[in-house]
Amino acid sequence: MSTVRKPYGSNPLSRIYDEANLPQAIRRSLSLILLGNLFGNLHGIICGGGTTAMIGLANQLQAGDFAFGLLNGIPQAAALLQIPFSLLVNRTHKRKKYLLTFGLFSRVLWLTFGFIPLVVPQEPAGLALWTLIFLLGISSCCSSAINVCWFPWLSDLAPISIRGRWLSIRDSVVAACNLGFGLLVARLLDTLPIDNRYIIIFLLGGTVGILDMVCFGFCKEVYSAPPQRLRFDGIVKDILKNKPFLRLVVMWTAWCFSANLCGPYLARYSVNEMGLTFTQMMVFSTAASSIATILVISRWGKALDHYGCRSVMLVAMAANSFIDLFYLFSTPGNIVPVLLRNFIGAMCWSGTNLAANSMQLSASPDESRPSYIAVFACVTSLLGTALGTLTGGLLLEAWQTAGWFTGALDRFKALILLAFCCRLCVTLFLAPRLQNDREGTPKQLIQAVANGLTHFNLFRKM
C-alpha cells in the first residue's frame, strides 16, 4: 500500500522552512532565535520602564511623573548608541561577539535592581531613585548592541517570502508564554513580602534575559554582504535618497511620539488612580493582550504576505488610534476600560508592529542593513518614544501644578484626548504615503476582515 508523502512538515515552522527549502543549520538557528526572542519578551515583562514591576519599584522610591517618564524614556534615548554599534558590526562581521558581550552585561545588571531599596541609603532624598535611573541608563546603553545584531541576523537567515509568517508564528508563541509568565509575575508582586518582593522579581527577570543571550550563542552567523567600512555621513546620504525608508522613519517616529504621550502612564494610572492590583493589571492588560495576539497574529502574517505591509499598517493604525479612548470611561475599581483597551488594542498593535518590522527589512539594502536599522531605531526611539514619553510626563506635572483638569476630565484623560488627535493625524496624513510591497489594497483587506467576521472566522479567505 503506497503512501502519499506530505510536501511540508507537520508544524507551522517546519512547513515554512520546507517551503523555503532551508538547510538544517539555518532551521536550527531560526528556531534558536525564536527561543531567544521568547526569553527576551519574558525579560521585558519584568525589566522595562513601564512594567508593573518597575511601577511598583518606582512608587516605592517615590518617583514623580517626570521621573517615571525618565524611566520610560531612557531606554529609548540610549538607542543613539545603535549607530556606532551598527558601523562596528558592518565593519567587523562579529554580531555574536558584540551581542553576547554587551547584551549579557546589560541583562546581568538587572539582577541588581531589586536590591536598590535595601542597599542604597535613604539620605540624601532621591539617591535610591537616581541610582535606579543610572543603572537603567547603563543597561540600556549596553542593550543597544542587541537590536543592531539580532534583527539583521534574522534578515540574513529568513528569506523574505516566509518572513511575515515566521514573525507571526514567533509572536503567537511569545504571546502564549507571556500569558502564563505575566500571571506568575503579578501573583508574586501581590503576595511576596515587601522587603524581598523586588529582589526575587528582578532576579527572575534578569535570569530569563540572560537565557535570551545564551540562545544566540548557539546560532549560526550568516551574512548576505561582505564586511564594509561605512561612514555615518554616507549612510545618512543614502537614507535621504531612499524615499520609501525615509517615509517609514518619519511616519513611525510620529506614531511612536503620539502613542507614548499617554501610553506609558496608563498602567500607572490604573494602579495609582483606579486602585487595581498587580494581578488585576496583569490579567486585564498583559494576559488580555496575549490572548488577543494569539487570536489574530497569524492572520496578520498572512495579510502581510498577501496584501502587503502598507495595507496592514493603514488598517491596523486606523483602528489603533481609538483604543486609548476606553480610559475616558474609567472609574476607581472598574476593570472594563483596561480590558477593552488592551484586548482590542493588542489586535491592532500586533498588526502595526508586524508591518513596521517587515518594512524595515524590505526597505533597507542588504549591505548596510544594520546601519539602516540602527538609524531607524535611533530616530524613532529618541524623537518618537522617548520624546513622547517625556513630553507626556512634563504635561502631567505642569497641569497638576497649574491646577488644570481636576474634575471628571482629569489630567490623564486630557492627555489621552491629545494623544488620540495626534494618532489620527499620523494615520490620515503620513501612513498613506508609505510604499506597499504587494498589490493588495487596504480596501481589499477590510473586505476580507468583514467577510471573516461575518462567518465568525477572521480573515477566512486570506
* All structural domains of the chain with their residue ranges: 22-454
In degrees, rounded to 5, the angle at the alpha carbon of residue 86 between the alpha carbons of residues 80 and 91 is 145
Q: Scanning the structure block, which residue is given the C-alpha cell 514619553?
A: 389
Distance CA 33, CA 149 (A): 12
- Residue 285's H or E segment, with its range, is none
**What would you measure as the largest C-alpha separation in the chain, in angstroms?**
84
- Alpha helix (H) ranges present in 49-126? 52-60, 65-77, 82-92, 95-109, 116-119
Distance CA 56, CA 52 (A): 6
Distance CA 449, CA 462 (A): 9
Distance CA 80, CA 69 (A): 18
pLDDT tens digits, residue range 372-402?
Answer: 887 898 899 889 998 999 899 999 999 999 9
Q: Please, are residues 343 and 288 in contact by the beta-carbon 8 Å criterion?
A: yes
pLDDT tens digits, residue range 399-440?
Answer: 999 999 988 889 999 999 999 999 999 999 999 999 887 777
Answer whether residue 1 shows pLDDT above 60.
no
Q: Which of 74, 375, 81 has its CA nearest to residue 252?
A: 375
Q: Which of 237, 255, 232 has its CA nearest to residue 359?
A: 255
Cell numbers standing for residue 94: 562579529
Q: How many CB atoms lie within 10 A of CB 191?
A: 10
pLDDT tens digits, residue range 219-236?
Answer: 988 877 777 676 777 878
Distance CA 419, CA 413 (A): 10
Q: What is the pLDDT of residue 209?
A: 96
Q: Which of 238, 249, 262, 266 has its CA nearest to residue 383?
A: 249
Please give the DSSP secondary-structure letter assigned to residue 20. T
Taking each helix axis from N to C end, the angle separating 369-379 and 336-363, rounded to the nearest 10 degrees, works out to 150
347 φ/ψ angles, rounded to the nearest 5 degrees: -60, -35
Instruction: Give the CATH fold of the 22-454 domain.
Output: Growth Hormone; Chain: A; (1.20.1250)
Can the peptide bond before residue 75 be classed as cis, meaning omega within 30 degrees of 0? no
pLDDT tens digits, residue range 305-349?
Answer: 888 889 999 999 999 999 999 999 998 889 999 999 999 999 998
